[in-house]
Amino acid sequence: MGFPPSAAPLDDVKRVLCVFAHPDDVDFGAAGTVATWVRDGLDVAYLLVTRGDAGGFDDTPRHEMPVLREAEQRAAAAAVGVTQVEFLDGYADGMLSPTISLRRDIARAIRRLRPHRVLTNSPLRRWERIAGPSHPDHLAVGEATTCAIYPDARNPFAFPELLLEERLEPWVVSEIWYHGGPSPDHAVDITQAWSRKLAALVAHTSQTAHEDVASRLRPFLEQNAQKAGFPEGSVAEAFTVLPTA
């Protein structure tokens, strides 16, 4: 089963929360789009479920990896104008599932930050590309975030302690953007933001220093732009956009 066709994005969005499994997910998938949102005056925050402690290609001691990757993600966020970057504690890279505790932690962040739009990993697998976008952690975060949006964040009787003890009022997120799922059909032209996306990717030194990330990525982004009918030489990121009502 795939996604239904994307809806037209809402035009009165003020706050966006990006929820992803690992540092660098948001930058590979959406840093150009985030840069355009920031340019347009939207208030964008990141919530990372792990610090990417199972990633990397070099001989950095494993215990240093989470600290390093948190710093890299903060630098990458700064490259596209995002300063609010939060990390959940207690979740290990490579071991995520859409547990009740993960749903509660994401619902807590949604009630606190009150985003109109949430951008997250796709909970649906792309069978034609098992590696990369369909990492099980991504699928788990996509599923947990979807459950946190409906019903957890909006239902006062879901995780009642959030309201009773933490005074976090229910909140309805209006729109979900998924990245990395099957047949994304909503393209965002990021031609003007390409250099900022690249700066964000380069900030993830432990993940990208071993390759020429621009040459690897650009053909995919050109393909997205071509499919969307954008002018020759454009680059685009592609998503599925769904209303939550």
| Interface positions with Zn ion (CB under 5 A) | 21-22, 25
Q: Where do runs of H (alpha helix) occur along the chain? A: 25-39, 65-79, 100-113, 136-147, 160-164, 194-203, 205-208, 213-227
Decide whether 234 or 240 has the Cβ nearer to Zn ion.
240
Whether the CB-CB separation of 82 and 31 falls below 8 Å is answered with no
- Compute the least distance from the CB of residue 119 to Zn ion, in Å: 14
Closest to Zn ion by CB, 105 vs 137, is: 137
Q: Tell me whether residue 19 or residue 153 sits nearer to Zn ion (CB atom).
A: 19
Phi, psi of 150 (to 5 degrees): -140, 120
Amino acid type, 105 = D
| 8-state DSSP, 209 | T
Taking the complex as a whole, the smallest distance from the CB of residue 8 to Zn ion amounts, in Å, to 28
Residue 214: exposure state from Cβ atoms within 10 A (0-12, 13-18, ≥19): middle
Shortest CB 208 distance to Zn ion, Å: 13
Based on CB atoms, which residue is closest to Zn ion, 21 or 217? Answer: 21
CB of 141 to Zn ion, least distance (A): 9
